[in-house]
């Protein structure tokens, strides 16, 4: 007996620094949310692509006791609603609420969020991509076996690009912004 499952490739996106601006004291309330220029338009432009669009985000403000999990989830939900109102689509969103010292499996650079998403959304990680603004994003995507990882220079990306590279970090692609990265990905198919 042969069981065939329809696994989907995904386009994983980090949230803070890729879609919205990083906040030095964390995004703690809706008033802290500022969308990166052209991010909403870029997400709208890929609405009909065949990839599942998935956000994977560390939100350690919860684990640090700065905001309750419910507030973090409400902020995230409003971000997703804003993307949708502007013509975009997000098929799933996965949050790690833990502090760095919690040593969890879901906090990037560990790949747990990608595994959660793959199971929940029937994703083929080997055909999937990640766009992030930190080396920890790239390490997590590579640990999950993604096809390609991409660093954008928005958010912390420009600073991260100048850091010493961890020896386990494999080659990656760099773009100035989410719109640039998406345009190149979709052009290459």
Cβ neighbors of 139 (< 8 A, separation 6 or more) are: 108, 109, 166, 168, 169
Among this protein's residues, is 14 annotated catalytic? yes
Strand ranges inside 46-188, DSSP E: 52-58, 92-96, 129-132, 148-152, 173-175
Three-state SS at 37: coil
Catalytic residue among 6, 14, 124, 137: 14
Cα separation, 81 vs 76, whole angstroms? 9
Beta bridge partners of 8: 123
Nearest partner of 82 among 149, 15, 169, judged by Cα? 15
Among this protein's residues, is 31 annotated catalytic? no
Cβ neighbors of 171 (< 8 A, separation 6 or more) are: none
Beta bridge partners of 95: 57
Catalytic residues: 14, 16
């Amino acid at each position: 007996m042969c069981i065939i499952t329809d696994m989907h490739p995904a386009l994983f996106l980090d949230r803070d620094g890729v879609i919205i601006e990083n906040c030095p004291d964390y995004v703690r309330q809706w008033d802290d949310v500022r969308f990166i220029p052209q991010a909403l338009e870029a997400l709208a432009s890929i609405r009909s692509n065949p990839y599942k669009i998935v956000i994977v985000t560390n939100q350690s403000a919860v684990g640090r006791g700065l905001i309750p999990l419910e507030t973090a989830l409400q902020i995230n939900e409003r971000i997703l609603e804003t993307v949708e109102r502007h013509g975009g689509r997000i098929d799933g969103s996965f949050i790690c609420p833990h502090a760095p010292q919690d040593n969890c499996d879901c906090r990037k650079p560990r790949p747990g969020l990608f595994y959660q998403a793959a199971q929940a959304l029937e994703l083929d990680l080997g055909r999937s991509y990640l766009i992030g603004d930190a080396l920890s994003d790239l390490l997590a995507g590579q640990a999950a076996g993604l096809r390609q990882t991409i660093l954008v220079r928005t958010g912390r990306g420009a600073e991260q690009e100048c850091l010493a590279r961890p020896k386990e970090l494999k080659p990656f692609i760099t773009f100035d912004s989410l719109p640039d990265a998406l345009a190149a990905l979709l052009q290459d198919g």
